[in-house]
């Protein structure tokens, strides 16, 4: 009887924890710590839910078995891709390659330079590119990428956008904790807005700041007035976060989702792709299609880089 009671209590605790996170996901809220942190790993909550189901079956706790079935069913529904995957109408106007990489305080700069030379992206978004990283990119890649926008800073505050296409400066995302530069690119005669994303992570005690900075990104996305847009970087949020889904609800679409790789983890690199969360994204406006999303493992960073081919479409 003691073993049965222990099994039931263990299963109940597992179901209660998973149910709390799933409930917040269904209620379209990120809740309080530790819910936002656990939401990033929502698909992996299948493991504790399945363990609870096994315990419920072993102890013949039939109400718990029903609870498990409901929780697993809701988890399966939540894991489905979010956002439209529909192809845009109109003929192809211009195709180009986008790379985003968090180089973790500049440590992976050399690995990024090697990857850029190998993969030849047209636009490169670099997060956590401190002074040394910025100088290295200027010295090593300026011949192939003569145009750049940057926010210079130490540690995680620096960010750089490199481009083969001519750039006109924009204000970027103002008032952010970490640098988020922006620009308008002339992509073979077509105007495309570029914006780097790097809000604060959802650290305990700083959730309001995390929500606020994701809210600024949403405000940018909602204010682009249907102009072709690429918003890319380390969002510190996955599709299971309500604050990130609010950005998608403006009409932007996740390029990895369009390319069929919406659940491929990018962080932490040490455990990805087996376990992790996709928090690095390339978001595009509805006039873009995307294909061939690749996730690159770079040395000395806790993020995988994301490389994706996008195509701008127009009427006619």
Q: What is the pLDDT of residues 219-262, one digit of tens each?
A: 999 986 678 999 999 999 999 999 999 999 999 999 999 999 98
pLDDT at 202 over 70: yes
Contact 307, 98 (CB under 8 A): yes
Predicted TM-score (pTM) above 0.85: yes
Residue owning tokens 């962080």: 267
CA–CA dist 285, 146 (Å, integer): 25
The whole-number average pLDDT for the span 118-145 is: 98
Quote the mean pLDDT of the chain: 95
The CATH class, in words, for 91-314 is alpha beta
| Contact in structure between 273 and 280 (CB atoms under 8 Å) | no
What is the share, in percent, of the chain residues with pLDDT greater than 70?
99
CA angle 24, 30, 36 (to 5 degrees): 105
Locate the domains of the chain by residue range. Answer: 2-79, 91-314
pLDDT tens-place string over residues 31-42: 999 999 999 999
36 contacts 30 by C-beta, under 8 angstroms: yes
Provide the Cα torsion 208, 212, 214, 219; round to 10°. 160
pLDDT one-digit tens code per residue, 257-295: 999 998 999 999 999 988 999 999 999 999 999 999 999
pLDDT at 3: 87
Q: What's the burial of 255, exposed, middle or buried (CB within 10 Å: 0-12/13-18/19+)?
A: buried
Question: In terms of DSSP bridges, do strands 305-314 and 182-187 run parallel, antiparallel, or are they unpaired?
Answer: unpaired
Note the pLDDT tens digit of each residue in 114-125: 999 999 999 999
pLDDT in tens, 99-112: 999 999 999 999 99
User: Does 89 have pLDDT greater than 90?
Assistant: no
Q: How confident is the model at residue 8 (pLDDT cuts 50, 70, 90)?
A: very high
Is the separation of the CB atoms in 115 and 304 below 8 Å? no
3-state secondary structure labels for all residues of 71-99: HHHHHHHHHCCCCCCCCCCCEEEEEEEEE
Paired with 101 in beta bridges are 126
CB atoms closer than 10 angstroms to residue 63: 10
User: Which helix (H) or strand (E) segment is 150 a member of?
Assistant: strand 147-151
Q: Tokens for 168?
A: 């006109």
- Residue 18: its pLDDT value, please? 97
């Amino acid at each position: 009887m003691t073993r049965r009671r222990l099994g039931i209590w263990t299963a109940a605790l597992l179901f209660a924890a998973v149910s709390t996170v799933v409930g917040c996901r269904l209620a379209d809220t990120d809740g309080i710590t530790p819910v936002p942190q656990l939401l990033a790993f929502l698909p992996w909550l299948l493991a504790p839910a399945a363990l609870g189901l096994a315990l419920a079956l072993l102890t013949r706790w039939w109400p718990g078995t029903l609870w498990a079935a409901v929780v697993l069913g809701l988890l399966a529904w939540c894991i489905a891709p979010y956002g439209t995957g529909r192809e845009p109408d109109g003929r192809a106007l211009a195709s180009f390659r986008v790379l985003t990489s968090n180089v973790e305080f500049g440590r992976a700069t050399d690995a990024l330079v090697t990857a850029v030379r190998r993969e030849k992206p047209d636009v490169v978004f670099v997060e956590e590119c401190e002074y040394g990283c910025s100088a290295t990119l200027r010295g090593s890649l300026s011949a192939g990428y003569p145009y750049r926008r940057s926010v210079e800073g130490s540690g995680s505050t620096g960010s750089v956008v490199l481009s083969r296409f001519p750039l006109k400066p924009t204000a970027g995302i103002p008032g952010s904790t970490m640098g988020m530069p922006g620009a308008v690119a002339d992509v073979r005669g077509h105007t495309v807005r570029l914006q780097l994303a790097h809000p604060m992570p959802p650290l305990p005690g700083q959730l309001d700041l995390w929500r606020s900075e994701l809210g600024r990104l949403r405000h940018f996305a909602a204010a682009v007035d249907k102009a072709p847009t690429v918003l890319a970087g380390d969002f510190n949020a996955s599709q299971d976060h309500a604050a990130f889904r609010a950005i998608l609800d403006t009409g932007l679409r996740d390029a990895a989702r369009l390319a069929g790789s919406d659940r491929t983890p990018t962080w932490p690199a040490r455990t990805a792709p087996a376990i992790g969360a996709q928090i690095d994204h390339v978001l595009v406006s509805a006039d873009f299609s995307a294909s061939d999303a690749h996730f690159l493992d770079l040395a000395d960073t806790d993020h995988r880089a994301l490389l994706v081919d996008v195509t701008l479409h127009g009427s006619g």
